[in-house]
Amino acid sequence: MNIIIIRYGEIILKGFNRKFFEEKLINNIKQVLKDHQYRFRRADSLIYLEIDNADLEAVARKLSKIFGVVSINIAAVTNNELESICQTALIKLEEQLLTENHSFKVVSKRGNKKFPLSSLEISREVGAFLLTKHPNLRVDVHNPEITIFVEVREEQTYVYSKKIPGPGGLPYGTSGRGLLLLSGGIDSPVAGWLMAKRGLELEALHFHSYPFTSERAKEKVFDLAQILTQYCNQIKLHTVNLLKIQTEIKKNCPEEMFTIISRRFMMQIAQQIALKNNCEAIITGENLAQVASQTIQGLTVTNSVVDLIVLRPLIGLDKQEIITIAEKINTYKTSILPYEDCCTVFLPKHPVTKPRLEKVIKAESSLDIPALVEEALANLETIEFKQ
């Protein structure tokens, strides 16, 4: 019989709140397993799943996207007799063998202290048995191509050969709620993923400038939201047309301040949507000094228009670090599709890089800000994406 073993990490460090985090993790796991018949057991900070009539590899891949999960193993279960352990280890080894020239090692853990052999002795006995069946294999304890893991527990032994890494972090939904400004570029999906990894439940907001931006640009954002549901189960995405506001800024404000004033409108609209939907923070993909509006001075001017905390998890990363995460979470190829976003509409030739708050406030004083914000919110559209 094969089962899935789920390991979690940071949750173990929690004190009196540990039960809360564990229960949230279990609920998130059960949500992924809602279409399966399964038996669930928890022991020794591990979760054991027996799943009926399922492709365990496919299920494990879904489970590996759950925040809080450190790793997953598909393990064979056997009794605590050394002969049975050796035979089971042979099966797991042969699942991985491509040639007879692989290097391997056996790593054992004796959780059952009544078992007559130590962890090192178990590894030696199992390794020696495997070599009798495949004498051309090589033992390499430092950099093996195949590792066989043996865990002897109180009632039975688990043998596996692969660890499927999980994202780690904290269970989704344990750290409050945040509104992600989802632009369609590389950065914002990564920012949302990183905050979700810290347990923050996401809603999303996308600004567009239709018809100056295309429907395909909006569909790209929909695709990104759908990808994020692999980690977040479901995401409610709000869309707001910013074109009227951008047109008014172009007519009434200095060209070099167009971007920074647009960003201030976005933040005000975002704050109202966040508060209405019980979100306690705004999340952006801004990265220090990446573009003109993301200087210290620009971010200060942008922040001044809202009261909610603005979370910028990418603030100190370079572009390659962000791309690496985007590739890992499968958003990169969608993000680089060549469809324009609202930030490219009426883009100034020489945007201000060190704006002063008093000058920005004076520049936008000719605008009826409350009315423009209200009109934009009146045309809000919302769509929900599910896993």
The predicted structure's pLDDT at residue 340: 65
Determine the topology of domain 2-165 in CATH.
Answer: VC0802-like (3.30.2130)
177-386: CATH homologous superfamily?
HUPs (3.40.50.620)
Give per-residue pLDDT as tens, 124-156. Answer: 999 999 999 999 999 999 999 999 999 999 889
Residue 361: partners with Cβ closer than 8 Å, 6 or more residues away: none
Tell me if domain 2-165 and domain 177-386 are identical in fold.
Answer: no
The predicted structure's pLDDT at residue 260: 92
The predicted structure's pLDDT at residue 160: 96
Question: 348 falls in which pLDDT band (50, 70, 90)?
Answer: low
H or E element, residue 174? none
Domain ranges of the chain: 2-165, 177-386
Question: 172 falls in which pLDDT band (50, 70, 90)?
Answer: very high
Give per-residue pLDDT as tens, 61-88. Answer: 999 999 999 999 999 999 999 999 999 9
The predicted structure's pLDDT at residue 154: 87
Mean pLDDT of 276-291: 92
DSSP 42-111: EETTEEEEEESS--HHHHHHHHTTSTTEEEEEEEEEE-S-HHHHHHHHHHHHHHH-SSTT-EEEEEEEE-
